[in-house]
Amino acid sequence: MIGRLNHVAIAVPDLEAASASYANTLGAKVSAPQPEPDHGVTVVFVELPNTKIELLHPLGADSPIAGFLAKNPAGGIHHVCYEVDDILAARDKLKAEGARVLGDGEPKIGAHGKPVLFLHPKDFFGTLVELEQV
Catalytic residues: 130
Separation of alpha carbons 60 and 131, rounded Å: 24
Separation of alpha carbons 133 and 31, rounded Å: 22
By CB atoms closer than 10 A (0-12, 13-18, 19+), residue 15 is middle
Task: List the beta bridge partners of residue 52.
Answer: 7, 47
Separation of alpha carbons 103 and 108, rounded Å: 10
| CB 75, CB 15: distance < 8 Å | no
